[in-house]
DNA sequence: ATGTCACCTGGTAGGTGA
């Protein structure tokens, strides 16, 4: 069983690439972030035509998430229950008995900004809700664009980025609070190539110079951790013409 | 060195967010 996450930075622009990627990587579920589509514009039929059911939660211009799956998702939840949020950032559903939570975590902009305060509040709410979800669904994956580089080895220039957005102690502590729930960073279960990133800025020829951050993650619950057979970042779509600035992350689970 | 992209409003550019 395979699950994946990909920040597509506008599904309107990237739909052909997502369809191509699914054809080459027929995962059981794929969560998307930054669809940037209102719900009426979601291309459900295009996914249905290639054998994927879809659930989505979007808004105009910003944010927007979706859950694509071979088997229709059950018990679908949009955004964090009890957390009043105008921004469409979470989609969750149960696929083949596995609770899949897809999140587009707030960027935070800068550590001294109002957006950072919102990011922390959002992360607090996510933590408490994920805790409850894990109790209800022992088989759980939390995946998405976390907008957090958990450690210095997830940053191409940790000195330059020290204390900057994605790398602040506060954000890293929030990531560790999620780990503290018993979740495991699937990517780090395996030896990985050094300088493995999931995002490269569009500016500064960052991809060509491999100057990136690992901010897209797949965390798995204790019941699933022994079943993780592989986890990797697929850089190929970042080499497309008109790529997203993020690459997909894929996890493979052995049969339960 | 800096080098972008997507989308909005309101226009044939500028602003915002990432």
| Whole-number Å distance between alpha carbons of A238 and A244 | 6
**Three-class DSSP category at A21:** helix
Cα separations (Å) of A173 from A147, A168, A177?
Answer: 13, 9, 6
Instruction: Say whether A96 is catalytic.
Output: no
Nucleotides on strand B lying under 7 Å from protein C-beta: 2-8, 17-18
Residue A97's pLDDT is 98
Question: A156 by DSSP, 3-state: which?
Answer: coil
A104 catalytic per annotation: yes
Q: Are A240 and A225 in contact (CB under 8 A)?
A: no
Q: How far apart are CA A253 and CA A256, in angstroms?
A: 8
pLDDT of residue A256: 75
> CA at A104, C1' at B4: how many angstroms apart?
21
Q: From the CA of A211 to the C1' of B6: give the distance in Å.
A: 22
What is the model's pLDDT at position A95?
Answer: 98
Per annotation, catalytic residue among A28, A104, A154, A216: A104
pLDDT at A176: 98
* CB neighbour list of residue A134: distance below 8 Å, 6 or more residues apart: A140, A181, A182, A183, A221
User: Mean pLDDT per 10-residue run, chain A (256 residues)?
Assistant: 98 98 98 97 98 97 97 98 97 98 97 96 98 98 98 98 98 98 98 97 96 98 98 98 97 92
């Amino acid at each position: 069983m395979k699950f994946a996450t990909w920040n597509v930075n506008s599904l309107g622009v990237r739909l052909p690439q997502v369809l191509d990627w699914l054809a080459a990587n027929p995962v059981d579920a794929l969560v998307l972030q930054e669809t940037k589509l209102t719900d009426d514009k979601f291309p459900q039929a295009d996914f249905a035509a290639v054998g994927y059911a879809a659930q989505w939660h979007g808004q105009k211009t910003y944010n927007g998430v979706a859950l694509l799956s071979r088997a229709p998702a059950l018990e679908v939840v949009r955004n964090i229950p009890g957390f009043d949020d105008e921004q469409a950032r979470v989609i969750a559903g149960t696929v083949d008995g596995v609770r899949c939570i897809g999140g587009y975590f707030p960027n935070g902009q800068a550590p001294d900004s109002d957006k950072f305060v919102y990011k922390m509040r959002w992360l607090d709410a996510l933590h408490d809700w994920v805790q409850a979800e894990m109790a209800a669904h022992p088989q759980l994956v939390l995946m998405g664009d976390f907008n957090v580089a958990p450690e210095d080895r997830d940053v191409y220039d940790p000195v330059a980025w020290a204390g900057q957005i994605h790398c602040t102690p506060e954000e890293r502590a929030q990531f560790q609070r999620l780990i503290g729930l018993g979740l495991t960073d699937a990517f780090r279960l395996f030896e990985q190539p050094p300088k493995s990133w999931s995002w490269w800025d569009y500016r500064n020829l960052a991809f060509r110079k491999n100057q990136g951050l690992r901010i897209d993650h797949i965390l798995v619950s204790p019941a699933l951790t022994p079943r993780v057979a592989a986890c990797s970042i697929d850089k190929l779509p970042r080499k497309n013409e008109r790529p997203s600035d993020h690459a997909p992350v894929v996890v493979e689970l052995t049969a339960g």
